[in-house]
């Protein structure tokens, strides 16, 4: 998606909120919008979502399914949580059965089960924010837009947000998020866009250099362990260890050790395994921060934004195959395939 020389003001003779804005956000990339309150961060996000149209210039190549979570969820609607989310799922194109499954999945995951039959105006700010997150993930989003998503959330819910962002990126989607709390420090490799004086400036990511190495963990079936290791090595990654999630007999454990050492090329029999790759054999593993490596996540259904807003998207499915995981190093913010 691209912003091409975008200008915006809210009134014909009003001040320019954004001027000469040219940006690009590719699939699999995340960008964090930084700046003081009132400088135009939300305006930039609403342009991305299609809620606002530029006064000049244009926004092109917007993905088909957009999941938008505004800073303030519109609670002044006469619906229960269940009815609202079901309606949003159908607006997004999910059938009755799919819509019900998506609503159940995301209300359970976000801790909203006991609020399903509560009316939106009766929700606290934090609970309403969770409903906003749920509606954005009901259908897998090609573009997830989060405007101050951590506001009002409890500690447990705040921990979920980076995971949701990671799932969208792993599935090949893009993420645009504003933040003034410093929470996005946990998104290594994300681009930084600073908004000030009606202009947007791309900043270098200070927390993670573009060529920094990170550790990624991905589950693979036991039968595919050897092939995955070979593919990772061929792509220039370093396998640090292969771990079985369930305690295997001594022989398979020995095979896993041989696989890491590069002495085994046949598929490992027995229990599912975990592969770990990093910047160098024996080096300290960094926290995960890049897109998953290995088998792609299976697509799963989901749904959109508000009954009066454009459709949005949903989550990736379970990891391909049963097993442990592959952890592989790769440049931060770039999917290793």
Whole-angstrom distance, CA of residue 110 vs CA of residue 134:
7
pTM: 0.61
pLDDT tier, 264 (very low <50, low <70, confident <90, very high otherwise): very low
334 pLDDT more than 50: no
Rg of the Cα atoms in the chain: 22
Query: What is the side-by-side strand order in the sheet with 213-218?
Result: 213-218, 326-331, 273-278, 238-244
Whole-angstrom distance, CA of residue 95 vs CA of residue 89:
8
Q: Which of 142-156, 211-225, 310-324 has the highest mean pLDDT?
A: 142-156
Whole-angstrom distance, CA of residue 15 vs CA of residue 42:
16
Q: Are 312 and 136 in contact (CB under 8 A)?
A: yes
Domain boundaries, the chain: 2-203, 213-331
Handedness of CA 155, 133, 174, 163 (dihedral sign): positive
Percent of the chain with pLDDT over 70: 67
Question: At residue 130, what are phi and psi to the nearest 5 degrees?
Answer: -65, -40
Q: Does domain 2-203 have CATH number 3.40.50.300?
A: yes
Query: How confident is the model over 66-94, as pLDDT tens digits?
Result: 999 988 888 888 899 999 999 999 988 88
Stretch 199-209: mean pLDDT: 70
Query: How confident is the model over 291-323, as pLDDT tens digits?
Result: 333 333 333 333 333 343 333 334 334 333 344
Query: How confident is the model over 101-141, as pLDDT tens digits?
Result: 999 999 999 999 999 999 999 999 889 999 999 999 998 89
Whole-angstrom distance, CA of residue 174 vs CA of residue 151:
21
Tokens of 318: 């379970």
């Amino acid at each position: 998606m691209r912003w091409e020389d975008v200008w915006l003001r809210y009134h014909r003779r009003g001040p320019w909120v954004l001027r000469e804005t040219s940006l690009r956000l590719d699939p699999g990339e995340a960008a964090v919008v930084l700046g003081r309150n009132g400088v135009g961060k939300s305006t930039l996000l609403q342009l991305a979502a299609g809620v606002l149209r530029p006064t000049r210039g244009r926004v092109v190549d917007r993905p088909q399914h957009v999941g938008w979570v505004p800073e303030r969820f519109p609670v002044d609607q006469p619906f229960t949580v269940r009815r609202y989310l079901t309606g949003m799922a159908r607006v997004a194109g999910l059938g009755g059965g799919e819509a019900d499954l998506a609503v159940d999945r995301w209300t359970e995951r976000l801790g909203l089960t006991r609020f399903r039959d509560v009316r939106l105006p009766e929700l606290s700010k934090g609970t309403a924010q969770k409903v906003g997150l749920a509606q954005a993930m009901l259908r897998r989003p090609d573009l997830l837009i989060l405007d101050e998503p951590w506001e009002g959330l409890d500690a447990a819910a705040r921990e979920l947000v980076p995971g949701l962002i990671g799932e969208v990126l792993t599935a090949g989607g893009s993420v645009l998020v504003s933040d003034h709390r410093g929470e996005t420090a946990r998104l290594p490799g994300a681009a930084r866009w600073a908004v000030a004086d009606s202009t947007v400036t791309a900043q270098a990511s200070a927390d993670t250099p573009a060529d920094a190495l990170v550790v990624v963990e991905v589950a693979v079936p036991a039968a595919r362990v050897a092939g995955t290791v070979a593919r990772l090595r061929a792509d220039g990654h370093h396998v640090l260890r292969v771990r079985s999630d369930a305690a295997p007999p001594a022989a398979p454990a020995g095979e896993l050790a041989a696989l890491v050492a590069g002495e085994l090329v046949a598929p490992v029999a027995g229990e599912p395994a975990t592969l770990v790759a990093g910047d160098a054999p024996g080096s300290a593993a960094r926290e995960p921060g890049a897109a998953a490596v290995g088998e792609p996540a299976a697509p799963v259904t989901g749904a959109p934004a508000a009954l009066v807003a454009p459709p949005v998207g949903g989550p990736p499915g379970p990891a391909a195959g049963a097993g442990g995981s592959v952890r592989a190093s790769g440049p931060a913010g770039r999917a290793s395939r």
